[in-house]
């Protein structure tokens, strides 16, 4: 499953992201670290490592955009959902919760609370795009060789993902090109050698 990584992230990648988060300075609400990039690049693995490292200096919450995408054609909607349901309320010190998409039932299925925290790690394609970018103190674009990303994604999610891989990859490419996400990132990490 996408959130059950079996290997640790590269220590130097975690250290680089954490250094940026710690240098971000005080923020109203949590310091938001957005880990963006295409599927299979290693965002979830990096998020686990970054969250663990940041717990040494403060409280940490993690939001996975895989919960927010409204289906296989919903990538473009996620940055707005993230901004309005999570980032904007937290920035003004309010309660935040977001809807959870059931990939099995193909519908919204409940909500998840976002606990108050010093740091908020948001991982997923679109986490630093459009309206979400305004709230991110740190933006990281995680990438890898496309063939490797595909192998990783299919190994992780199994055959259920295979018919949707290209459909999702096309949405990612369009979103990132329109937004120039990689070019705007504070840090670009390549996980091809991991």
Residue 172 to residues 29, 39, 42, 175, 179, Cα–Cα distance (Å): 29, 8, 15, 5, 11
What pLDDT does residue 1 have?
A: 42
Residue 45 belongs to some domain of the structure: yes
Structural domain total, the chain: 1
pTM confidence score: 0.94
Question: How far, in Å, CA of 88 to CA of 99, rounded?
Answer: 15
33 within a domain of the structure (yes/no): no
Q: Is 124 left (phi over 0), alpha (psi -120 to 50) or beta?
A: left
| Digit-coded pLDDT (tens) for 123-180 | 999 999 999 999 999 999 999 999 999 999 888 888 877 888 899 999 999 999 999 9
Please, what's the b/e burial string for 31-42 (b: 16 or more CB within 10 A of its CB; e: otherwise)?
bbbbbbbbbbbb
Helix (H) or strand (E) holding 32: strand 31-36
Q: What backbone phi and psi angles, to 5 degrees, belong to 150?
A: -65, -45
Would residue 29 count as lying in a domain? no
Q: Contact 143/72 with Cβ under 8 angstroms?
A: no
Q: How confident is the model at residue 4 (pLDDT cuts 50, 70, 90)?
A: low
**Which CATH number characterizes residue 46's domain?**
3.40.50.300
pLDDT one-digit tens code per residue, 67-116: 999 999 999 999 999 999 999 999 999 999 999 999 899 999 999 999 99
Residue 87 structural domain: 41-190
Q: What is the mean pLDDT of residues 6-32?
A: 91
Residue 26's pLDDT is what? Answer: 67
The alpha carbon of 4 is separated from its chain's Cα centroid by a whole number of angstroms, namely 15
């Amino acid at each position: 499953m996408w959130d059950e990584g079996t290997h640790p992230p590269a220590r130097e990648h975690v250290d680089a992201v954490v250094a940026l988060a710690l240098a971000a300075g005080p923020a109203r609400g949590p310091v938001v670290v957005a880990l963006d990039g295409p599927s299979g690049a290693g965002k979830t693995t990096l998020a686990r490592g970054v969250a663990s490292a940041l717990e040494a200096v403060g409280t940490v919450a993690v939001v996975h955009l895989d919960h927010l995408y409204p289906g296989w054609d919903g990538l473009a909607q996620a940055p707005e959902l993230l901004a309005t349901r999570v980032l904007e309320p937290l920035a003004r010190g309010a309660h935040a919760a977001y809807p959870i998409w059931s990939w099995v039932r193909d519908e919204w299925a409940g909500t998840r609370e976002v606990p108050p925290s010093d740091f908020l790690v948001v991982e997923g394609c679109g986490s630093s795009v459009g309206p979400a970018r305004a709230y991110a103190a740190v933006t990281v674009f995680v990438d890898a060789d496309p063939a490797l990303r595909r192998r990783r994604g299919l190994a992780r999610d199994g055959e259920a993902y295979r018919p949707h891989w290209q459909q999702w990859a096309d949405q990612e490419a369009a979103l990132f090109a329109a937004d120039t996400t990689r070019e705007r990132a504070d840090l670009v990490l390549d996980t091809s050698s991991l």
